[in-house]
């Protein structure tokens, strides 16, 4: 590695918590302050695997539950070389959902253990910071109706939230809970502060392996 590496920063959270809004603002703020930063999101719907996932999420096709879980994971693995390359070039990546969404959404379905769900993502680049945007169901409801995609129901989202809470107990991952009920600028200021610290801390550290 010839330069200081970039940091892998992930935003997770329930539906409508503001993940996409905050990822965009964070990348802009980092760039404005002279840092090299780019945004990525999962699922990345443009690849061949991503197109299968997109069709499933839009309820245009059905896939068996184990199969779709593995496709979500494969969608991360297919972008792993690019992610590593960018991090090693000193580019910080701000990522909208990652393996934690993968595990939380599938394990909220009947018959899936957390452990089974975590296995396919073991060894992916480990985030230097995962910020969980916390928002209650009633506050989320004030941000508009659920859309028409699969998983967008109150009951399922509550089950997902509980799975995220289990994942956050894992101290091998650096979690930071963010109160996402505040206005966009206040949430952004908080996220930016944590991110600047994470970028500094990651500079001289090797890229870790998730859940290994």
- Contacts with ligand Z5A by CB under 6 A lie at 13, 15-21, 42-43, 57, 72, 96-97, 101-102, 105, 143, 151-152, 183-184, 187
Name the residue nearer to ligand Z5A (CB basis): 5 or 13: 13
Name the residue nearer to ligand Z5A (CB basis): 5 or 120: 120
CA distance 16 to 35: 28
Least separation in angstroms between CB 22 and ligand Z5A: 7
Residue among 8, 6, 10, 17 at smallest CA distance from 131: 10
CA distance 121 to 109: 18
Identify any residues that bridge with 65 across adjacent strands, giving them in sequence order: none
Least separation in angstroms between CB 102 and ligand Z5A: 3
Half-sphere exposure of 92 (CA within 13 A, CB side): 28
CB 168 within 8 A of CB 177: yes
Least separation in angstroms between CB 4 and ligand Z5A: 28
Least separation in angstroms between CB 94 and ligand Z5A: 12
CB 86 within 8 A of CB 38: yes
Name the residue nearer to ligand Z5A (CB basis): 42 or 175: 42
Name the residue nearer to ligand Z5A (CB basis): 33 or 153: 153
């Amino acid at each position: 590695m010839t330069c200081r590496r970039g940091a892998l920063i992930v935003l997770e959270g329930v539906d409508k918590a503001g993940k996409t809004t905050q990822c965009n603002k964070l990348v802009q703020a980092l760039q404005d302050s002279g840092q090299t930063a780019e945004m990525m999101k999962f699922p990345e719907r443009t690849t061949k695997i991503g197109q299968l996932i997109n069709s499933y999420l839009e309820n245009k096709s059905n896939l068996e539950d184990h199969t779709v879980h593995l496709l979500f994971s494969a969608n991360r693995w297919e972008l792993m070389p690019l992610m590593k390359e960018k991090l090693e070039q000193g580019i910080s990546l701000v990522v909208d959902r990652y393996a934690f969404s993968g595990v939380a959404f599938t394990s909220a379905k009947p018959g899936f253990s957390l452990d089974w769900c975590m296995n396919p993502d073991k060894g992916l680049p480990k985030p230097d910071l995962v910020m969980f945007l916390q928002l209650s169901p009633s506050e989320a409801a004030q941000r508009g109706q659920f859309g028409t995609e699969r998983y967008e129901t109150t009951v399922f989202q509550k089950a997902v939230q509980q799975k995220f809470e289990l994942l956050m107990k894992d101290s091998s991952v650096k979690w930071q809970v963010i109160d996402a009920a505040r206005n966009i600028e206040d949430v952004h200021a908080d996220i930016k502060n944590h991110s600047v610290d994470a970028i500094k801390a990651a500079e001289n550290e090797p890229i870790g392996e998730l859940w290994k």
